[in-house]
Amino acid sequence: MSDILKIAHRGASGYEPENTAASFKKAIEMNVDIIELDVRACRTGELVVFHDLTLERTTNGSGIVANSSLDELKKLDVGGGEHILTLEEAIDLIGQGAVINIEMKGKGVADKLVKILQGYLEKGYPPESFIVTSFDRKEFHRFALANPGVSLGILVGKDIFDFLIRAKRYGVYSIHLPQPYLKKWLVKFAQKQNFKVFIYTLNSIWDIAKAKMIGVNGIFSDYPDRI
């Protein structure tokens, strides 16, 4: 891996429809270190790779993902003829070509994710093949309690004051800071606590250059080739 990790945000989503096979393949072609993707549980229980609560923004369908069956979701076009993937389909596609950062979205994901990742570890995937994150504290805690051994990351949103406490509590690998918190003192302070610091989501070459100067460990971008 390079000194500053290239993290493809929802795949190479600046070039291909987000969270799709095309965006993941494009990211692999760009030799990224990490591919970030989002997972939700659908009505029939499978984990699907999808960011939003609802379908309207990125598909030709409508409604709530959690109220839709896998068969219904599979019929939708996500752009460019791409279709919604199950988590297993995404992992199988990416393989060990990049670390996979899985962000849990919504309720009822943690237990299912534990079982899926346990299966991949049993197949021989190294534990460091995966990083699991979530803004949902309850889901994150639930996953952490049953963690089969993969890396954890703390996603920082508005909880700027307690993220280091949480990071230490869970023994996480990485802290994921939003762009407004790209401050040298904060990055260095977190790194001194032995955490990797990743910044999201930077697309401007100027913002990326600033992050590199500050010395973050990784950068999320829709255009990972700019990193």
- Can 141 be counted among the known catalytic residues? no
pLDDT exceeds 80 at position 124: yes
**Does residue 85 lie within any of the structural domains?**
no
**Does residue 174 lie within any of the structural domains?**
yes
**Does residue 106 lie within any of the structural domains?**
yes
pLDDT exceeds 60 at position 104: yes
Residue 89 main-chain phi, psi, to 5 deg: -65, -40
- Can 83 be counted among the known catalytic residues? no
CB contact set of 87 (below 8 Å; sequence gap of 6+): 39, 46, 47, 48, 49, 102, 113, 116
Can you tell me whether residue 222 is helix, strand or coil?
coil
What's the token pair of residue 49?
Answer: 């790779």
pLDDT bucket at 1, cuts 50 / 70 / 90: very low
Domain of residue 120: give its range: 5-40+47-52+92-226
| pLDDT 10s digits, 175-199 | 999 999 999 999 999 999 999 999 9
Place of tokens 């987000």: 18
CB contact set of 70 (below 8 Å; sequence gap of 6+): 42, 44, 46, 48, 86
Query: What value does the mean pLDDT take over residues 207-218?
Result: 98
pTM above 0.95, yes or no: yes
Residue 143 main-chain phi, psi, to 5 deg: -65, -45
| pLDDT 10s digits, 8-31 | 999 999 999 999 999 999 999 999
pLDDT exceeds 50 at position 164: yes
Q: Report how many domains make up the chain.
A: 1
pLDDT exceeds 60 at position 2: no
What's the token pair of residue 6?
Answer: 């290239």
**Does residue 127 lie within any of the structural domains?**
yes
To the nearest 5 percent, what fractions of the chain are helix, strand and coil? 35, 20, 40
**Does residue 99 lie within any of the structural domains?**
yes
Question: For the domain that residue 177 is a member of, what is the CATH number?
Answer: 3.20.20.190
The Cα–Cα gap between 149 and 163 comes to 21
Query: What value does the mean pLDDT take over residues 39-53?
Result: 99
**Does residue 12 lie within any of the structural domains?**
yes
Query: What value does the mean pLDDT take over residues 90-108?
Result: 98
Average pLDDT, the chain: 97
The Cα–Cα gap between 163 and 155 comes to 8
Mark out the alpha helices in 59-204 (DSSP H runs): 70-74, 87-94, 110-122, 137-146, 163-170, 184-192
What's the token pair of residue 47?
Answer: 């984990």
Q: Is the dihedral of CA 183, 10, 152, 7 positive or negative?
A: negative
Closest CA to 102 of 64, 44, 143: 143
Catalytic residue among 51, 83, 141, 176: 51
**Does residue 70 lie within any of the structural domains?**
no
- With contact defined as beta carbons under 8 Å apart, do 133 and 105 qualify? no
**Does residue 162 lie within any of the structural domains?**
yes
